[in-house]
Structure 1
Amino acid sequence: MLDPVQYIFIATILFYFLDSIWEIGNIFHPKKFSKTVVNYLISIGLCLHLAFLVTASLRSGNLPITTLFESATFYLFLIVFISVALKYLYRFPSLTPFLMPVITGFSIATVLLVGNKLSLTYELKKFWQFAHIIPIFLGYSAFTVSFILSIMYLTQERQLKKKAFGPLFESLPSLETLDALMWKTITLGFPLLTIGLASGTIWAKTSNILGELWYLDPKVLLGALTWLIYAALLHLRLGASFHGTKVALVTVIGFFVVVFTFIGPFFMGSKHAYVKSSVILKNELPVKETPLKEVPVKDVPVKDVNFANIEL
């Protein structure tokens, strides 16, 4: 059964779904599906999405990351937010027709498959929520947008080779523009991921939640692998011969590693994952039990009592 707050997210999905229809319709029938309606639908959906996250945060007293459901919806919100920001900052309306159907599908899957059954087994103090979780999620969201851009790049390149100059080709920008935006989103996500992993390393060592061999935890290893892939991509991108299609293909690989980093630890015995629990949060640090001191009881002499004077 759905939590009452989750119905706000259901309304969000409805507007995202309608926006997806209008976005695709605008490509093939721009007169029937106007861009004005598209802007209204995605704006209302994004506001509802934010309302859900704020409500969930106020209720739990934490950022909306205490359950897998909240984390997934927070991640989806950041993706849409970054995409809308690109749309208005760079006058790039072509991204959302590719993105919103994907967001809608993942949102529906989140409601049907995730729910609130999986939660954190430890309490993450608010400092670490902002220093570790937020940069990680922002970095992954930027990489997801770069993945969508890479799919657009590969699609446009294929259409150019086949000389398929239809409505879809007309709606997509040039390969140079797509390549530049891929580069911008990757360079945005990489430093954020670096900050998140660095602060997570400090947290793991100081809290000792993941144990002494914290660096062998599956999620830590996958996070390091993700960092290495994008670090290599940035390094290779500086070369004159590594751009365009090569960058797009490596970006696709990097995205699948990001996805596996998010869901893989559930099946790999990671301590750094969401598990079934009736308690949403447990203490981050174990509470030491203070033994009670035994107070010696002095023998108090009992005075003689004259039972004959006691009235029954």
Structure 2
Amino acid sequence: MVGLHILYILIIVFYCLSVLGYFIDFIQNNQKVNRIAFWLLSIVWVLQLTFLLLRALEFSRLPIMTIFEGMFFYSWILVTFSLVINRLHRMDFLVFVVNLVGFTILTVSLFAPAGDVSSELADLFILEMLIIHVVILLLSYGTFTLSFAFSMLYFYQHRMLKKKRWGDKMVRAGNLSLLEKRSYLCTLVGFPLMLIGLILGVSWAWVKFEAVPWHDVKVFSSFIVLTVYGFYLFQYKVKKKRGYNLALLNIAAFLVLLINYFLSSSFSQFHIW
């Protein structure tokens, strides 16, 4: 039973990394990242199959009889479809969406009645899922902070160039194009991390409290943060916007993030961080 527990956590971690890779590949059309995401997803497929086989041996039956097993098997089917689609066709958006759904189902399955799992083990699963939720969100905050730093350097250099001031410190900071690209790449990583973190948080809240506290200030503001950064990515990738105004948008997005992190935490009855 403990082995299955560890295996499940590994599946969640590798699946999270794979979804992140497919999102980056979809936006950037990066073949290297696509290959890494494919092999990570392949590992997820193997681990899921191993989990199903071990559970079948442990309970001497086909592991699709409980709600948990049905959802887990459903997720495994989606992973299988994704691997086939990825090898036969270049449909990056479809693969990303299918895996996002699969990851959500896999996460929700953790809280479904398992039938043969003890309450102590179920509680341990729930606790560790909460920990993963917090860690992933903090990682997204870290990448958004790096993105903000690059945008601030862009803002500073842009102002100095308009005033026709130049110095060695500006050279060391990098040119405007490089700063803009690095800011975008950091946001590109932070966005799916935050999305995955919120999916985990919503799933955890549902099983813990039998409802999602949408009225909670921090929950509501977290989705506002996600929307603002999504709008930034939309402006950069779809609208092809570049320059000073885009940097200001990213700086504003980070200010919304700070409000979410500090102020909403103070007024939230659901979060303590």
What TM-score, normalized by structure 1, do the two folds share? 0.45
Task: In structure 2, list runs of 5 or more residues that go unmatched.
Answer: 1-123
**Contact 2:205–2:212, Cα closer than 8 Å, also in 1:** no
Equivalent residue runs for 1:196-211 within 5 Å: 196-208=197-209
* Structure 2 partner of 1:71: none
CA deviation digits over 1:113-171, x for unaligned, max 9? xxxxxxxxxx97123212x1111011111001111110100111112112211222222
| Separation in structure 1 between the aligned mates of residue 175 and residue 201 of structure 2, nearest angstrom | 39
Report if aligned partners of 1:265, 1:273 keep a CA contact under 8 Å in 2: no
Partner of 1:125: 127
Report the Cα offset of residue 254 of structure 1. Answer: 1.0
Q: Percent identity?
A: 26
Q: Distance in 2 between matches of 1:180 and 1:214?
A: 37
Query: What amino acid is the match of 2:145?
Result: T
Partner Cα separation in structure 1 for residue 137 and residue 258 of structure 2? 13
Amino acid at match of 1:158: R
Alignment of 1:66-215 (within 5 A): 125-130=127-132, 132-208=133-209, 212=211, 214-215=213-214
Distance in structure 2 (CA, Å) of the matches to 1:186 and 1:244 = 16
Structure-2-length-normalised TM-score: 0.51
Tell whether the 8 Å contact from 2:147 to 2:182 is kept in structure 1 after alignment: yes
Q: Which amino acid aligns with 1:196?
A: G
Please identify runs of 4+ aligned residues in structure 1 that moved more than 3 A: none
Secondary structure in structure 1 of the residue aligned to 2:214: helix
Equivalent residue of 2:271, what SS? coil
- Give the secondary structure class of the aligned counterpart of 1:142: helix
**Offset at residue 241 of structure 1 (A):** 4.8
Instruction: Give the distance between the partners of 1:263 and 1:240, measured in 2 at CA.
Output: 32
Give the aligned length: 149
What is the one-letter code of the residue matched to 2:180?
D
After TM superposition, give the deviation of residue 243 of structure 1 in Å. 1.6
Q: Please report the RMSD computed on the Cα atoms of aligned residues, expressed in angstroms.
A: 1.9
SS at match of 1:163: coil
Amino acid paired to 1:186: T
Matches of 2:265 and 2:201, distance apart in 1: 19
8 Å CA contact 2:129–2:204 kept in 1: the answer is no
Equivalent residue letter for 2:131: Q
User: Could you say which structure has the larger radius of gyration?
Assistant: 1
